[in-house]
Chain A
Amino acid sequence: MSLSVHDLHVNLGNKEVLKGIDFSVSSGERVVVVGPNGCGKSTLLRTISGIIKPEAGVVKLDDASLSSLPRRTRARKLGFLGQSDVAPMMTTVREHVGIGRHPHRRLFRQNMIEDEQAISDAIQLCEVDHLIDRPVERLSGGERQRVRIATLLAQAPSMMLLDEPFTGLDIEHQYALLHLLSQMHQQGRLVMVVLHDLSIAMRFFDRVLVIHEGRLVADGPPHSVMTSDLLEKVFRIKATIGHDLDSDQPLVVCHGQISRAQEPMSAGI
């Protein structure tokens, strides 16, 4: 399975947020999208998911334009975990996760055995089994985030887009989620994540897309993309890419911020 984005332009209000994005990824890859605040990462994911209509350009899933697919078919292929956290009223964790099965249901064919199986698998994988009868609105931020991830898993799309999925998660569950995402990847799903932690982005993903001011400014394997030069120009930090002594895993070590006065004249890379 492959996802390709051609010449994507998106305006929000009067602002041009994405200015011509081109790339294609296939299910063999674990893709991470990084970039400073307001660069258009979330807008990119939301446009690919069909939430925002692009001004120009197309998103294709295996050669078919995503907007031409019927809604439910698209929802079975592509799932999205957004940043906005809306807790429904008086809904238990089980019911919340069950909502993820919506694209698989029919008017007179409601919860089937395979739905129940998908729901309990998702609940178990996200370690929320002890919470299933609790109302979602009364959970902690991190628990609620795990419930939302479980809902995405229950949806069982072949491609998952996650926008800052670590929000609210403690370090144990951050690593549990990374493990879960590599499991999904091993099952042949396409996983694409927006992250702010550059060290994690370098360690756990095969391919990094760097977005800066609405443009894709770098695309490739982490070690070749993430350089001190790029960190300086895009993220405005003085940093070196070091390595952990024991495991040789890459680490981004930040030494400080670049003041606005020292701003390089051209942002082009």
Chain B
Amino acid sequence: MSTSLSVTTRLSIQRGGRKWTRVILGSLIVSILVVIGVIASLAFGAVDIPIREVLDVITGSGTKVHRQIIFEARLPRAIAAVMVGCNLAVSGTLLQAVTRNPLADPGLIGVTAGAALAATIVLAVLPGYALLLPVFAFVGAMISAVVVYTVSWRPGAGSSPMRMILAGVAVNAILGAFIGLLMVAFADRIPAMMFWTSGSFNGRGWSHVEMLWPYTLAGLLMAFWLRSRLAVMELGDDSAVTMGVPVETTRLLAFAAAALLAGSAASVAGLVGFIGLVVPHLIRLLLGGNYGLIPVAAIAGGALLLWSDLVARLALAPAEMPVGVVTGLIGGPYFIYLLYRARWLR
């Protein structure tokens, strides 16, 4: 008996080991994708800069013009894209865990619609305040997240995943109606609104990076801290309580972190769909379940959005596509391919 137990133990440790090899390999691959993506983003654009010159500029030499292009336009834009992708992926992972719903993403909890309504109000009614658009969008996102959480909360019973989703759907519908109303009333501003709602990194600079990084860092730390609690909560609230997880607090913290991540992302880049929904699945399909994978999901989200932005800039140059269009066009088919390939769904 004891020998057979130790054999199983050894087997299971080996299995655990294989999983960690996969995770390390996975993080390595997505990190390399980020690095190559950043270098490519620095090199390609309206003015192509040779890779060798890019490396020269990074190491401190290079011409003044190239330094200006790289440090003042392309680098902050690339960093912003990586951070927004990271925020969206982690936000989606957190939301799918707390709502126990594979279709959850920042759009579901009202954050996105709140940001969109606030942005639409600025673009339509207060175009003079366009500089403050990120602040408005962030505040709008937070207000609607608070409303959704409050609506889903009941005294005595607390929050519930199901009520959270339904409240999100209801708030989304209401906000969507107001956005529609504004679009009809201010039809001449529709192009600007549409460009914002499809997401873009056009003209994003260091000020946006400065706005983003505290949320990205805090959100990542929070997600990493909550990861094993989230895995327990997947077994249902009753099991989670009896395994020592403070369910309400965890749900509130994860919801708040997801809202801050998605709200800050939306305020900088507009509405970039798909990443929050699909990156968590992508990581699970490729590397298996469990929330220890949050850091991998974060980097993968960053890589995906960085490359999408590169395509958005270059595909129809000199015109620029909304990055949300690209994430959908690249990510959607790849996701379908993964769905067919994955052993989980065979």
Contact = CB atoms under 8 A, between A and B. Distances in A.
B244 A74 contact: yes
Contact of B234 (A49, A89, A116, A155): A89
B290 A91 contact: yes
B218 interface: no
A88 B234 contact: yes
A90 B236 contact: no
B244 A90 contact: no
A105 interface: yes
A87 B344 CA distance: 14
B236 A82 contact: yes
B236 to A, nearest CB: 4
Contacts of B8: 120, 123-124, 129
B140 to A, nearest CB: 31
A152 to B, nearest CB: 9
B16 A111 contact: yes
Interface in B1-17: 4-5, 8-9, 11-13, 15-16
Contacts of A151: 235, 239
A46 interface: yes
Contact of A90 (B5, B228, B289): B289
Interface string A55-86: 00000000000000001111110111010101
B238 interface: yes
A6 B231 CA distance: 34
Interface in B314-343: none
B47 to A, nearest CB: 45
Contacts of B284: 89-90
B180 interface: no
B112 to A, nearest CB: 22
Interface residues of A, number: 47
A50 interface: yes
Chain B interface size, under 10 / 10 to 19 / 20 to 34 / 35 or more: 35 or more
Contacts of B288: 90, 92, 95
A50 B247 CA distance: 12
A92 to B, nearest CB: 7
Contact of B12 (A75, A132, A135): A132
B235 A124 contact: no
Interface in B127-177: none
B5 A124 contact: yes
Contacts of A133: 15
A79 B242 contact: yes
Interface string A85-113: 01011111011100110110101001101
B100 interface: yes
A119 interface: yes
B236 A84 contact: yes
A129 B100 CA distance: 27
A121 B9 CA distance: 8
Contacts of A105: 228
B9 A51 contact: no
B108 to A, nearest CB: 16
A117 interface: yes
A89 B289 contact: yes
B234 A86 contact: yes
A217 to B, nearest CB: 26
Contacts of A46: 238
B289 A75 contact: no
B243 interface: yes
Contacts of A110: 228
A93 to B, nearest CB: 11
Contacts of A84: 236, 238
A155 B9 contact: no
Contacts of B225: 107
Interface of A: 46, 49-51, 71-76, 78-80, 82, 84, 86, 88-92, 94-96, 99-100, 102-103, 105, 107, 110-111, 113, 116-117, 119-121, 123-124, 129, 132-133, 135, 138, 151, 155
Q: Which 8 A-B pairs have the closest CB atoms?
A: A75-B244, A88-B234, A86-B236, A80-B242, A72-B244, A71-B244, A120-B8, A90-B289
23 contacts: A49-B242, A51-B238, A75-B242, A79-B242, A80-B242, A88-B100, A89-B96, A89-B234, A89-B289, A91-B234, A91-B290, A95-B289, A99-B231, A99-B232, A99-B235, A102-B229, A102-B243, A102-B245, A107-B225, A111-B16, A120-B11, A123-B12, A151-B235
Given A90-B289, A135-B289, 17 more contacts: A49-B241, A50-B242, A51-B242, A71-B244, A75-B244, A79-B243, A82-B239, A88-B231, A88-B289, A89-B102, A90-B284, A95-B288, A99-B234, A102-B228, A102-B232, A120-B9, A129-B8
